[in-house]
Structure 1
């Protein structure tokens, strides 16, 4: 599975380091209006090289859908927004401080277009690279080591002080969380996705490490994941449990899994009762989940706020059905519906940069049904590919589980041009190339 040396082209090296540094989401960054990450700088360089060396060639259906979603649809929505929509005077009247470079109506959308373009460059380069697929073991080992370093720091910061938050704002954009692991991400709910992939990588690469070191890696990364105390862990648990029965596992494995689930359930119930932490458990794993799926009457927790912003996104979509308001432009329309969504008690309020906290709602509001169709087609084709090869190897099982959870998290994470949403999906498609070429 791994070649003797890492002989990669410049594009493949950029793709390699994008995957290696995908966990550095809010440190170190370059803050000029927004936050430019290491992997985004690399993706931007990759985009420039791709444009300079472009040669027409036959592409797969997934690459076609990716180009339609990341390139064509954003351009269409941007052009229509300029031609049809009015200048958002109300937005600047409500938020006078936003009348500057960061939210400039003519500059901000162009920056979002660039983000979408280099997302496509990175996604397509990674997912179609046979050389990266041949070096999958070496690549995963590197990603795991970097992820474990981040997890170790995150655990220490959880119990002590997150020193990165005291660094100058120009190089970091982290938020402070009390006794919650958030890695180098802005918040635990973003870190959960990255760290879940790291845990899957560790679990399925046991043969790449000696036993003691592998156990150490597993303990550190699982602990950091649990310490996020994110309600998204409920979704991860369900995906893992269901996948065990969907994948080609023996009856013994399925039976042991059933008993393990029962043991964890009763042990968890005992610990909750013994330490009298049911209120905290209920808030984290029940109330927030219920708030996300229910029509919110308040924005007192993250689940209800995400549901609230997602609902606003759907209202924007209904009024701009075909091409949306333009990539990134939902920020100019959120305030219109702020007090029209039936919210009785406000906790978290909309800010100038607020957008739908849901990939699907965000895409529909900004790219309309035109972009929404390409998003759904892209995700369908990705999941179909992982489903087709789900029992071909241990890695194919790993990527099937990870991809299923990744797509589920898109209901709670936005914006869509955050490449950490796509990086490991692209790597999984890259790995499937080795299975396809071997058949």
Structure 2
């Protein structure tokens, strides 16, 4: 009961506009008071948990995302993808989905993808006949590919709080990510001509070839980044943390020396923005670790497992119940809160049900994709609306359509077809 009341306090504080990190601090104060916890011990345990080599990757990947935006890398990726698929039916929408996927394979964050890809593409999409409400909804859903496609900041956080292999979790979300990409492209193609009329312009064939060749050459350094990062991780050349350092360094070099779009002023602003984002996440992690210590000491996860096991005996229904709870939590809390606080509570139940922790991580990632675009909080969808300069009410209908036709099916397939998320980690030797 105290655990549920703590979640209620968190929701109330966030609803009142208290910053997320300090909302967690309020929950920590409540639990420490109720359970008479020793703050000295909690602080030592919290700092020991945050003192992790894996977490060094967090600020580096966040910085990479901001540097891609300010250094011209994102714009060249979008231009290249548009020359490949942008002139076909549904091509511009498909370009946004693919650009978000490639961006996610470098930066590992959804917010940076929304800001970078949305700023570049929402305007041209409107010129091609896409309603801004639909474009913003598609942007919100596709930007979450940054969570599914490795490297993923969300999976790094999940690995830290659950003591799992980062590389294994990276590999687990590749299958769901590819499924989400295919689903979004197909549904977007069906939407063109049914929900709206797309204006497709076809330039002369020779001009198209030149434009495609030139765009490919300009995007080549940016396209090398995901190959270097993922190839280095899975090829055993460097760890995910070292890959983050390589990505940040490469983004600096490409921005300053190759594209020359990066300026000292933009670089400074990117570092400041990345520092603010990282500082907020680390504070949330610190407080969540301390909350987790209290809950573990009071056997709250075990009691939750026993309660659900008594109420629901069918393993299939348990999986459905956990899916529903994760989606509802994601609709109220942000992705970091769901990943570091809510998801670990169900890990013992999932293990008892026979779900591999790596498989469970993929389920959590899929739930974040849906929750981050579902009211009332819907942080990614609201951000997409701000970028698209459109009222949130105009995005509800297309967002629900994309979630119902793509997001939910991908989550259910990921949940009930374990091999989708376990095949690649098993082939790479991360799990047996």
TM-score normalised by length of structure 1: 0.27
> Which structure has greater helix proportion?
2
Taking structure 2 as the reference length, the TM-score comes to 0.27
